[in-house]
Structure 1
Amino acid sequence: MKNQRIVLALFLIYFVFAILLNSVGTVILQVINNYDVSKSSASVLEAFKDLPIAVVSFLVASFLPRIGYRKAILAALALVTCASIAMPLVPAFLTTKLLFMCVGIAFALVKVSVYSTLGLVATDRKHHAGLMNTLEGVFMVGVLSAYWIFAHFIDSNDPKSQSWLQVYWVLAALCGVTFALVLATPFDERTAALPEGRSRWDDFTAMLKMFFKPLICVFVITAFLYVLIEQSVGTWLPTFNNEILMLPAAMSVEVTSIFAACLAIGRLSAGVIMRRVNWYPVMNACVIGMAAVVLVALPLTQNVVHDPNISWASAPLATFLFPLIGLFMAPIYPGINSVMLSSLPTNQHSAMTGLLVIFSALGGTTGSFITGYVFGNFSGHFAFYLTLVPIGLVLVTMYLFKRQVDRAA
């Protein structure tokens, strides 16, 4: 019962941060309209989110077990609650940057803590894989919810309206409820204790040394490339829908929820599939499926004519086809994470997750920046076609990762 309560708390934490983290695409669309900033300028919001994730993970992940996972989660929730309250009270592009910086700092603490706590409550590798996929599935349900929650507050008839900022009162309340649940839930972290007699510098250098192991090096590069692809699509899809497919602002955000729904369905179902099938063939099929969706859907986005009376029934076919790439993306990230973490002792999960978070954050920032730059200076079509490059590279790195996993077994 105690472990079930901990798992429930972890799921709710991830749900809350899914909404905050993946609102960046929607917020980019809104700040472009509200604060008259360029696409290139708006794209820095991804960096304000991801770079603090990388920096904080780099600095604290190795010795977070000494601080305590529960304490770290509580501090993170308190920080984002305050930042959410500031958004409607002090509306400005600078406030938006500070919000995502706080979200990035907090998520660095949360992701390392949550992933490490999963290792404490999982009974075996299969249980770990199931929990990991379910956790990431809940995360995507949060992402899906975010599109509809934000769209509810967006006024499509007035692009300059700041009514969308009222959503942050809802998010602040949700953070407060999650804080109360975690505060009332005891965590048994004894098995994650680091060896006695080691300094924090020793913990830090031990994490850095992990990167130079071939298995871990190939793994983090694969994670980097995957997140680059996911953030490229997820962050810029609302703007793509609005400017290329000519959909209204609110509908552009709502339609992006199809992408999130596909990710959620894919990850929740992957937990069942991967308990019966070897992970490597599943991952390869998913990567090939991603490339196929890009090649089939993007040609259908050419020469779309603006329709002032557009609805879900009259939207272009590509509106519904391209987001299906999420079904194929879905199992990859939790799948490779579970394979990696379940290969290590629990007292190394924090440091390993730290490396994962660092490279995931760098991948997200790189993907969003490149896509934003190409979108603004060339075209949205070319920006999304470019995802085929990292998709091809993932096939290569995943093969190398499989070889290293087999050698380490």
Structure 2
Amino acid sequence: MTAKLSKFSLPLKLTFLIFSMVLNCMGIVILQLSEAKITYDKLGFLESFKDLPIAFISLFAVNFISKTGTKNSLILALTIVGICSLILPFVEVFWFYKLWFAIIGTCFAIGKICVFGMIRNNVSDEKSLAKIMNSVEASFMIGIFVVNTGFGWLISSRFSEFWKFGFLSISVLSAVAIFLFSRLEISEPAKTDQSNVFKEVSGMINPLMVIFLAVIFSILFVEQSFNSWLPSFYKNHLKVDSFFALQASSFLALFSYIGRIVTANIIQRFSLSKYYILCISIIILLLILIIGIQFADTDDSRILLFYFRLSGSSCHLFIR
């Protein structure tokens, strides 16, 4: 590896922290814009503006990255994210949020390929590779916690009307990450024949692969939509304030990360089929409890906040 492990991993972790914050601020945006009298019919389309670019750009981003290099491509993506986050607080029109999320989704599609490409091309030791991959994944989950907690404090303070200026902190983090990458020397992969790249992509297009990708996209889309609309659900149906709604959402991410950590240790020691049956049973039990509580205590169902947090860990136990 061309740089020390700590110096190499820090900007990568910071990159995933930044992308996690901008990708998972959807719930905050929906919560605040709904109070600004933007209808849910309009807000319902925001998720697609973020997720569809991630899905489609990921298929063709390799061609762009191979020409410009992983380091330059990632710096460009971070620069665009920083500029867009700097502009957002000063724009009032709703259509800009659609454009903003589309740009963020495109940059993330490029950024994630660059990050994993850098790790693959610069880390050969298996132990170091596992350590960096775990820390990068942890940074993504921490980003969800940080963005919901930070904006929750801002929205609940006396400066709540200036909540959009919280995105300026993302611009600052982007500038720091760009500075770290500019000082980092990395190994770039050898340039490949572009015709071969397109042949490989075209060779992957078959009915089974299309079905597989459609299922994966559906799972991710449902999961992201669940996270995006959860704060509004908490506030409108469980009658909690914006701060507590966002805090509950951030703890959902924390429990999801715990689920990943637990799963990584369990699957090596127990039968996979029995493990899946256990996870499905836990999920069904949670759903029965949630439905029972709603029917038995419709006036005050705040205990559901805690069950939704537990669903984060149990669902990730199953998905892993």
Is the structural similarity TM-score above 0.5?
yes
- State how far apart, in whole Å, the 2-side matches of 1:322 and 1:5 are: 37
Contact 1:262 1:323 in 2 (8 A): yes
**Aligned-partner SS, 2:240:** coil
Partner of 1:18: 20
Residue 224 (structure 1) shift: 2.3
Residue 246 (structure 1) shift: 1.0
Partner of 1:101: 102
Q: Which amino acid aligns with 1:166?
A: F
Residue 155 (structure 1) shift: 4.1
How many correspondences in the alignment? 317
Q: Deviations over 1:253-307 (max 9, x none)?
A: 111112111112223444444565677765664455334323322432345337x
Bigger shift: residues 42-51 or 141-150: 42-51
Residue 223 (structure 1) shift: 2.7
Partner of 1:323: 309
- State how far apart, in whole Å, the 1-side matches of 2:207 and 2:67 are: 24
Structure 1 vs Structure 2: percent identity of aligned residues? 26
1:194-273 aligned at under 5 Å gives the runs 194-195=191-192, 198=193, 200-212=194-206, 220-273=213-266
Partner of 1:172: 171
Partner of 2:69: 68
Bigger shift: residues 233-242 or 161-170: 161-170
Contact 2:31 2:231 in 1 (8 A): yes
1:113-124 aligned at under 5 Å gives the runs 113-123=114-124
TM-score under structure 2 length normalisation: 0.86
Partner of 2:181: 182
Bigger shift: residues 22-31 or 59-68: 59-68
Bigger shift: residues 222-231 or 140-149: 222-231
1:5-404 aligned at under 5 Å gives the runs 5-34=7-36, 36-62=37-63, 64-123=65-124, 131-155=132-156, 162-190=161-189, 193-195=190-192, 198=193, 200-212=194-206, 220-274=213-267, 282=275, 285-302=278-295, 304-305=298-299, 316-330=302-316, 335=320
Contact 1:245 1:301 in 2 (8 A): no
Residue 152 (structure 1) shift: 1.4
Contact 2:47 2:225 in 1 (8 A): no
Q: Deviations over 1:54-94 (max 9, x none)?
A: 23223323552333111111011100111111111223322
Contact 1:134 1:271 in 2 (8 A): no
Structure 1 residues not aligned, in runs of 5+: 307-314, 336-409
Q: Deviations over 1:324-344 (max 9, x none)?
A: 1111233566x5xxxxxxxxx
Root-mean-square deviation (Å): 3.0
- State how far apart, in whole Å, the 1-side matches of 2:128 and 2:254 are: 24
- State how far apart, in whole Å, the 2-side matches of 1:72 and 1:332 are: 34
TM-score under structure 1 length normalisation: 0.69
Residue 151 (structure 1) shift: 0.7
Contact 1:126 1:275 in 2 (8 A): no
- State how far apart, in whole Å, the 2-side matches of 1:304 and 1:57 are: 44
Residue 117 (structure 1) shift: 2.8
